[in-house]
Structure 1
Amino acid sequence: MEPTGKTVVVVGATGLRGRVVTRHLLSSGWQVRTLTRDPGGAPARDLASTGAQMEDIDSLIAAAQGAYGMFSVQPTVGSPGAGPGFSADDEVRWGINVAEAARAAGIEHFVFTSVAGADRHGSETLPQNLISKWHIEQHIAKLGLPATILRQVSFMENFTGGYALQGGALATALAPEVPQQIMAVDDVGFVTSLVLSRPEKWNGRAVALAAVELTPVQITAASESTLGHRLPYVRIPIEAIRALSEDFAFANEWLNERRG
């Protein structure tokens, strides 16, 4: 499909995924309409974003009118874009509202970023972020939206932030010997642009996205080589994580059981 003259609405455009998706779409020739919860913020001004209230479907419908496609991403509990007091129920409600707006506005291709393993709901006990994404996926299916679901694994960038890099070491609660599937955030932008340009192949599909599978020790070694100095791996006791968040602790335990 030639994107010339066609518009894609990017919801969550000032977040990490939203920014890379916007960049890839623009470089591929799409017109992009970006939505953010805070149109007055600096990132939003840089993107010339449109304000849309995630609690107000009418404002989302108005923002989506006339567009061909829509990219939807919601923050999860504890993520930088979540804000204080943000809950799993908020995430599900926002995701459902965006999907409802897409249907009302007649969006022809809807792309939702879910998470790898969300489709296991009902077959085992899952971390809360997988359950939330599954509920949104199910609502998209119920609406009959022409959609592509991208079930992504954890991001490489998670290992480069202040949470993981502490005191000259890479520190997480992940078992050092257990392989983890990871990918770069930029890959989401590339795949989204590809998916929207080939609706005959991708519309109606749900696909898992991963780039490589590495243990935390291997990730540390690769980072150490790039940085040019020693970077030991330190495992944070799971009880220290649980003291901060039961959900986050459970998510780490789930990953450590190597449910690949």
Structure 2
Amino acid sequence: MTGEPVQVAGKTIVVVGSTGQQGRAVTAHLLADGWQVRALTRDPEGAGATALATAGALPVHADMDDIGSLVDAVEGAYGMFSVQPTVGSPGTAPDFSADDEVRWGTNVADAAQTAGITHIVYTSVAGAGRHDDEVLPLNLVSKWRIEQHMAKLGLPATILRPASFMENFTGGYYLREGAMVTALEPNVPQQVIAVDDVGAIAALAFGRPQEWIGRVVDLAGDELTPVQISAAIAAAIGRPLPYVQIPIDTIRQVSEDIAVANTWLNERGYRVDIPATRRIHPGVMDFRTWLDTTGAARITAFLDTQRAGEKGA
């Protein structure tokens, strides 16, 4: 498919979830490409919104539970980027559910339709809508429901479906007591992608709507086993980081949903065509490049803070 890039001068993209990882990455790439960006946030005066304003975006108040606020925030814009947190995402309330995610995602889609948005890019997850699996993780089901709603509305949409984020390995979700700790099988390859690359591909889609409207694309930048991931991190940060596997039954005692997700990753996985991602975005980072770029520094900072906290306890 071919098509001339859209002329972006004076055109505005509204970024939902602007202060989250994906929202920040998308905003940065859109600004670099010359778009005007409205950064939607519940707290336009907060630190995250202030940082976006310093970068050149316009923070605008909106709440994904309030369709009216979304419509007002989107009015007159050319495009819209939509992403919602999933169950267990950082910053979500303890009782945040898959139904909450679906409601937020469908509200954003409804607002886009009401406002007459020319192009919406929605970030889903690799594997969404794959019906050959009997039991799917919650986030695959919830994001597929949002995709279906967008299709029902007939929105001019691009669906991006990234695999797990490399950034998941920079904090307490996987790093505990000087080790990398998960319920993933140590020698089963896991597909990952850097958040920044999702931002780059989203900006590419907005810039070439004739090529991208109507596309649904799974994305991944690398595939490594947990043992390979921990070894790569250890080499990059210059300190040991052993891999420790938690039994699925132990995870199940805490959360059946997380146990299902880990079992699915161990037995089925995302199945993304990585060379296809590289053809779309030749600069997509492999895991070691991401470590050299930002990952190692973030992991080192987290481990140092974690160690300081343990000493002070």
Give TM-score, length-normalised by structure 1: 0.97
Shift of the alpha carbon at 1:230?
A: 1.5
How many Å separate the matches in 1 of 2:245 and 2:215? 37
Specify the SS of the correspondent of 1:83: coil
Query: How many pairs does the alignment contain?
Result: 260
Q: How does 1:58-69 map to 2 (within 5 A)?
A: 58-69=68-79
Shift of the alpha carbon at 1:125?
A: 2.0
1:80 to 83, 90, 93: 90
Shift of the alpha carbon at 1:229?
A: 1.6
Q: Which residue of 1 aligns with 2:137?
A: 127
Q: Which moved more, 1:187-196 or 1:118-127?
A: 118-127
Shift of the alpha carbon at 1:121?
A: 3.9
Can you give the 5+ residue segments of structure 2 that lack an aligned partner in the other structure?
1-5, 54-58, 272-313
Matched letter for residue 230 of structure 2: T
Specify the SS of the correspondent of 2:38: strand
How many Å separate the matches in 2 of 1:154 and 1:38? 28
Shift of the alpha carbon at 1:72?
A: 0.2
How many Å separate the matches in 2 of 1:141 and 1:122? 21
List 4+ stretches of structure 1 deviating above 4 A.
none
- Note closer, same or farther for the CA distance 1:55–1:121 as it changes in structure 2 (3 Å cut): farther
Shift of the alpha carbon at 1:43?
A: 0.8
| Conserved 8 A contact 1:12-1:37 | no
| Residues 1:222 and 2:232 aligned together | yes
| Residues 1:155 and 2:165 aligned together | yes
Q: Which residue of 1 aligns with 2:287?
A: none
| Conserved 8 A contact 1:12-1:73 | yes
| Residues 1:139 and 2:134 aligned together | no
1:15 to 12, 20, 23: 20
Shift of the alpha carbon at 1:122?
A: 6.9
2:62 to 42, 52, 66: 52
Matched letter for residue 178 of structure 1: V
Give TM-score, length-normalised by structure 2: 0.81
Q: How does 1:183-222 map to 2 (within 5 A)?
A: 183-222=193-232
| Conserved 8 A contact 1:15-1:81 | no
How many Å separate the matches in 2 of 1:37 and 1:121? 35
Can you give the 5+ residue segments of structure 1 that lack an aligned partner in the other structure?
none
| Residues 1:36 and 2:46 aligned together | no
Matched letter for residue 59 of structure 1: S
| Conserved 8 A contact 1:121-1:131 | no
Shift of the alpha carbon at 1:240?
A: 2.2
| Residues 1:26 and 2:31 aligned together | yes
Q: Deviations over 1:32-83 (max 9, x none)?
A: 0010133342212332421112121111011001101100000001000322
Q: Which residue of 1 aligns with 2:251?
A: 241
Specify the SS of the correspondent of 2:129: helix
Matched letter for residue 74 of structure 2: A
Q: Deviations over 1:87-142 (max 9, x none)?
A: 11100000000000001101000000000000214753211110000000000000
How many Å separate the matches in 1 of 2:132 and 2:143? 13
- Note closer, same or farther for the CA distance 1:232–1:24 as it changes in structure 2 (3 Å cut): same
Q: Which moved more, 1:29-38 or 1:103-112?
A: 29-38
How many Å separate the matches in 1 of 2:105 and 2:114? 14
Q: Deviations over 1:191-230 (max 9, x none)?
A: 0110100001010110001001110011111111101122
Specify the SS of the correspondent of 1:226: helix
Specify the SS of the correspondent of 1:119: coil
Q: Which residue of 2 aligns with 1:4?
A: 9
2:115 to 105, 116, 125: 105
